[in-house]
Structure 1
């Protein structure tokens, strides 16, 4: 089954990471931090590891100690965990719509939305597509803190060769199951601005070590996701059905609670990254160039297969960008539904990330008013993503079937 998780993870990494974490747990964290920073062309002093990407963002914003009436601008196409950080810190937010035919806001739209109350702006690189104009915004609004949401964008470079996550004053990354580099759950905060690093030097939290049970659930969930990438669709559904009940009873699956999605509870933002998951991340970070080259090659395959597909809008990407998923828009609902059924028949998982302006659909839209971001809402209705990564190479049969679907023929 070609899916969207564990895109850089090999089975061998589990054994190597277990040995590394057992022999020298502290070294695992330090080596991963250094290898991740190196992959971005940065000194490790700029990087702090966290238990999740949302925790990294929370630590940054809490450390800034913004006044309660300070305003935050968010992209009108994001994940619920981002606005929930500001919900839990009691800061008001406004959303800036994405640009027509794009998955990110336009820099000028951000500029027009900034007011004297605006203290912080989150700039996304959705799907690994780099938002343009970051440096110009920093120069134009020196009093505003710009933060890159680089959760999707490990390894992406913009048209000028600048790495995502290194362009604004700060950035946060996610190492969740479906991200380009995964530790199960985890994240990183990158502080690029020297003045900001000095300001936060004594304000970042002292992180707690996760309990062993939590770490075990993360790794077991990661192993399950890894296994799912090698099973045919029928076998995967049968095994999932068989294991669903015992997994729930034993609490063996790590997932974001529904109460967090609804905003009724906050995650434990004080959790750090455990050595075992860090050792898993280390194996992937050391293969960064190979991981990125594979995704770029797979994107080229999709570009060729889907060229000229009627009703499909393909992503406009640069040569240096590393996509998390290959996002397309199919605005005709009946056509999109038919394509999704066809993909499943080909053992290709049709992703629907992001299915709402504040993904996932049905979660809390903190600070969002329906209709405020019409482009984001339209994109959410039409989005369909195709998988990329180590386990996502399509067979000749799948390539032929995908091409047929794109041309409106039976797969």
Structure 2
């Protein structure tokens, strides 16, 4: 099955990481931090590691000391963990609709939305598609802090060739199972502005807590399970999932975002650190960064060719420097589930990121009112995404099958 998880992980990375941790111990944390910073073209001191991307965002926003009445602008197409950070900090948010035909808010859209009480703008690079014009926005609104959501965008570059995450004052990244780089769970904060970096260090109080052995084991088991799923044919995968799903969840062996967090009844442990062993898992993936990014670009170009001329499946526009996490397409909402089933029959997992303005569908929409972002709502109803990464190279039969689906009548 061609799927969307552990897309940069090889089986050999796991024993290699264990050996690395046995040799270097806690130093794996700093080794990974330095390697990840270098992959962005940054010095190590600009990067901080966390137990999740949402924890990185939470730490930065908290350190900025926003007050009651300060406004944060969020994109009308995002993941629930992003607005939940501001809900848990008691900060008001307002959503800005995405650009028609795209999956991000345009620079003009942000500029028109910024008001006198706006103190922070969160700019995403959804699916790895970079939002252009951020440098100009910073110049036009010097009193506003711009934070990049680069959770999907490790490897993407803007038109000037600068890594995604380096145009804003700060950026956060995710190393969760379904991201371009997978350590189980984990994330990073990049602070580009030297003054804000000093402010962050001064404001950061409580030290991060190392995950327990039980938590680490759960993350590694889940990582291994997802990697196994990427190695199995579709029919075998269905049997394995059926056999393992109930007992693994009953025993609490699956590391995942709990439903109570999605609907706002609980909050995550924002103070959790990235375990040095998890950092060791990320090291060999970072060492292959250029090859991994090149692979994703080739795969995206292959999808371009297969979908060319289709009246059923429409790729979202992207720039030459974008390294996609997933290949997003827009389809007729009335036939989305039918097409999804046809993709499954080909052994291609039909991803449904982002199926709501605040993904996933049914989660808490902190501060969002229906109809506020009609373009985002429209895309959410029509989105499907195709897999990219180490385990997503289509076979000749799958390529032919996808081409046939693309050329079928609407």
TM-score (norm. length: structure 2): 0.98
CA distance in 2, matches of 1:332, 1:73: 28
Counterpart secondary structure, 1:202: helix
- Please name the residue that 1:388 is paired with: 388
- Please name the residue that 2:258 is paired with: 257
Structure 2: gaps spanning 5 or more residues: none
Deviations 1:219-274 (A, max 9, x none): 10000000000111111111111112221232111010100000110100000000
Mean alpha-carbon deviation: is it higher for 336-345 or for 176-185?
Answer: 336-345
- Please name the residue that 1:284 is paired with: 285
| Partners of 2:312 and 2:409 within 8 A in 1 | no
CA distance in 1, matches of 2:48, 2:344: 39
- Please name the residue that 1:275 is paired with: 276
CA distance in 2, matches of 1:202, 1:235: 53
- Please name the residue that 1:225 is paired with: 226
Residue 159 of structure 1 and its aligned partner are, at CA, apart by 1.8
Aligned: 1:104 with 2:115: no
1:241 to 1:332, Cα distance in 2 relative to 1, 3 A: closer
Aligned: 1:323 with 2:313: no
Deviations 1:186-224 (A, max 9, x none): 000000001111111222241000000000000100000
- Please name the residue that 2:309 is paired with: 308
- Please name the residue that 1:234 is paired with: 235
| Partners of 2:333 and 2:381 within 8 A in 1 | no
Residue 312 of structure 1 and its aligned partner are, at CA, apart by 2.5
| Partners of 1:99 and 1:105 within 8 A in 2 | yes
- Please name the residue that 1:181 is paired with: 181
Residue 316 of structure 1 and its aligned partner are, at CA, apart by 1.4
- Pairing 1:31-180 to 2, within 5 Å after superposition: 31-180=31-180
Deviations 1:337-389 (A, max 9, x none): 22211110011100010000000000000000000000000000000000000
CA distance in 2, matches of 1:241, 1:311: 32
Residue 401 of structure 1 and its aligned partner are, at CA, apart by 0.2
CA distance in 2, matches of 1:221, 1:203: 34
| Partners of 1:51 and 1:186 within 8 A in 2 | yes
| Partners of 1:311 and 1:332 within 8 A in 2 | no
CA distance in 2, matches of 1:273, 1:240: 28
CA distance in 2, matches of 1:409, 1:310: 7
CA distance in 1, matches of 2:13, 2:313: 37
Counterpart secondary structure, 1:4: coil
CA distance in 1, matches of 2:202, 2:21: 28
CA distance in 1, matches of 2:159, 2:382: 27
Counterpart secondary structure, 2:12: helix
Counterpart secondary structure, 2:26: helix
CA distance in 2, matches of 1:224, 1:17: 17
Residue 34 of structure 1 and its aligned partner are, at CA, apart by 0.5
Mean alpha-carbon deviation: is it higher for 159-168 or for 185-194?
Answer: 159-168
Moved over 3 A (4+): none
Aligned: 1:349 with 2:349: yes
Residue 332 of structure 1 and its aligned partner are, at CA, apart by 4.4
Structure 1: gaps spanning 5 or more residues: none
CA distance in 2, matches of 1:363, 1:63: 27
| Partners of 2:72 and 2:118 within 8 A in 1 | yes
Residue 79 of structure 1 and its aligned partner are, at CA, apart by 0.1
Residue 313 of structure 1 and its aligned partner are, at CA, apart by 2.1
Residue 315 of structure 1 and its aligned partner are, at CA, apart by 2.1
1:31 to 1:218, Cα distance in 2 relative to 1, 3 A: same
Counterpart secondary structure, 1:173: strand
